[in-house]
Amino acid sequence: MNIRKILAALLALMMVLTMAASAEALTAWEEASGIYNGDETDEELYQKALEEGATVTLYSISSRCGKVADAFMAKYPGLECVPFDISTNELLEKVTREYDAGQHVADVVHIKDQDGSMYLEYVANGIFYNYKPTEILSHIDPSYTETATPLYIELTQLFYNTEAYPDGSPITNIWQLTEPEWKGRITMQNPLDNLSWGSWITGFCVGDEPDRLAAAYEELYGEALTLSPECENAGYEFLKRLHDNQPIYCASSDECAEAVGTPGQENPPVGFSASSKLRKAVDNGWVFAPVNLYPDTGIPAVNTLYIVEGCEHPAAAKLLVRFMMGGTDGDTSGYKPFNTLGGWPVRDDIEPAEGSVPYAELNVAGFDANEIYVNYNLVRDFWQMLG
């Protein structure tokens, strides 16, 4: 525990030093691109973008990047935006290998920093940059902008079948999931399978989350939680009991949602799934609703934008980042594709999609990039050990 605290402190120190160093002496690219300058106007950037090549390439983990590109090109005639929809792992593999090889293809990267590695590995090493448009950032809670240029927030939520449970969720407290009734009836993705689920389980074991979990347990059962020998806090204990209840692993988040939301089921499972699946519910005829779980539904996943070091179209990249974040002129067509059910805007001046529960009313764990990053391996190994 101590070692991890020290490590975290060291990391924080390292970050500060990196920042300080970069403030002292700018690289040629930093100088030329003016990456730290957040005060340029859209018009200035548009002109520069036209001059520097009139194109910008966006690597995105969201299939909605195509719509963003279309909207961007409609708003800024003469600029070409090339979107590339690719999954997290391939995106990182591609962008790092291209970067190492000196191929500056991607200008803007849209990805989630779920385990803190984007900030602690990519930003700290000067591969990615958090561009900070001053005017837009003034509308965002500073806790989000510390380590990221946030786009919107997604959650991993518990869903239940509203047809089978018309009176509301059968589960309200997270510990109910560990009861025998739900054995083999919880769907989720295997946390070993990818970074986002790995980070999500890590979130339960760090910060003040274990204490909140322990309190929730006592509240539900009226007695204090007894930790198993291998569990050092209530977070690990929860994961162990969840694992013991044999969750059913789905191949994708969609499958989890489908398993819970398909109508006509007699004894449907409950399941964790990305909140973004809410927007697909109508299309697919799913009958499910999210639970505002107590004490919370785990850590949020903040979608973040980065500008890649050395990119050849920094002005267009900045313009695209501003555009995607909702701009400053009241035209939010760049953000619109993301403003759907299951996604929450970070800006205080943009309303969430119609029918959304206000973010403030949701129970969400705190996100500390450092804590998650340092503990990620330990928690993943813990889950691996469970079998």
Partner 1 sequence: MKEQTRPYSRGRRLKNQIMSVITNPYNVIVLIAIILLVYLIVLPLFDMLSTTFKLAQRDLRAVPGGQAGEFTLYYWQRLLASKLSYSMLIKPLLNSLLIGFGVSVCAIALGSALAWLMVRSDLPFKPFFSLAVIIPYMIPSWVKSQAWLSIFKTPRIGGAPGFVSSMLTKMGVTNQAFLEPIAYGPVAIIIVLTLHYYAYTYLLVSAALNSVNSELEEMAEIKGAGKAMILRKITLPLVLPAMLSAVILTFSKAIGTFGTINYLGSPVDFRTLSSQLYSNSKSQNTQTAFAMAILMIAIASLSVFINQRLIGSRKSYATIGGKGGRSTLIGLGKWRPLITFILLIFFAVGIIMPVVILIIESCMLVEGTYSFSNFTLYYWIGAGNPDIMEGVPGIFRNSNFMLALTNSLKLTFVNGIAGTFFGQILGYMCAKGRGKFHGGLVEQLVFIPYLIPSVAFGGIYLSMFSKPQSIFGVQLVPALYGTFALLTVTSVVKHLPFASRAGTSNMMQISGELEEAAMIKGAGFFKRFIKIVFPLSKGGFISGFMLIFVSIMKELDLIILIMTPKTSTLPYLAFQYQNQNCPQASNCVAIVMFSIVFLVYALANIFGDADLAKSMAG
Residues in contact with partner 1 by CB under 8 A are 3, 7, 57, 63, 67, 82-90, 92-94, 97-98, 100-103, 105, 117, 121, 125, 184-185, 187, 190, 192-195, 198, 246, 248-251, 254-255, 258-260, 262, 264-269, 271, 280, 283-285, 373-374, 376-378, 380-381, 384-387
Query: How big is the CA angle at 94 (ends 13 and 383), to the nearest 5 degrees?
Result: 60
Nearer to partner 1, 157 or 296 (CB): 157
Q: Which of 215, 243, 249 is nearest to 363 (CA)?
A: 215
Q: Would you say 71 or 137 has its CB closer to partner 1? A: 71
In angstroms, give the least distance from the CB of 98 to partner 1: 6
Nearest distance in Å: CB 193, partner 1: 5
Burial 333-348 (b: 16+ CB within 10 A, else e): bbbbbbbbbbbbbbbe
Of 212 and 277, which has the nearer Cβ to partner 1?
Answer: 277
Which token pair is 195?
Answer: 């970074």
Residue type at 330 in one-letter notation: G
Report the distance separating Cα 150 and Cα 165, nearest Å.
Answer: 36
Q: Which is nearer to partner 1, 143 or 384 (CB)?
A: 384
Closest distance of CB 265 from partner 1, Å: 7
User: Tokens in use for 274?
Assistant: 């990305």
Angle at 148 between CA 144 and CA 150, to 5 degrees: 65
**Of 131 and 383, which CB lies nearer to partner 1 in the complex structure?**
383
Return d(Cα 137, Cα 149) in angstroms, integer. 9
CB of 363 to partner 1, least distance (A): 24
CB of 308 to partner 1, least distance (A): 14
Whole-number minimum distance, CB 292 to partner 1, in Å?
Answer: 21
Helices (H), 231-313: 234-244, 253-261, 281-284
Cα 382 from Cα 201, distance rounded (Å)? 10
CA atoms of 143 and 368, how far apart (whole Å): 10
What the block records as the tokens of 259 is 């398993």
For partner 1, give the closer residue by CB, 47 or 377: 377
Nearer to partner 1 by Cβ, of 16 and 386: the residue is 386
Looking at the Cβ atoms of 224 and 385, the one nearer to partner 1 is 385
Distance of closest approach, residue 244 Cβ to partner 1, in angstroms: 12
Specify the residue, 141 or 193, whose C-beta has the smaller distance to partner 1. 193
* Distant-in-sequence, close-in-space partners of 25: CB < 8 Å, separation ≥ 6: none
Q: Cβ of residue 370: shortest distance to partner 1, in angstroms?
A: 10
Nearest to 111 by CA among 36, 58, 66, 73: 58
| Cα–Cα distance, 387 to 375 (Å, whole number) | 19
Q: Least CB distance from residue 312 to partner 1, whole Å? A: 13
The one-letter amino acid at 271: G
Q: Three-state SS across 360-381?
A: HHCCCCCCCHHHHHHHHHHHHH
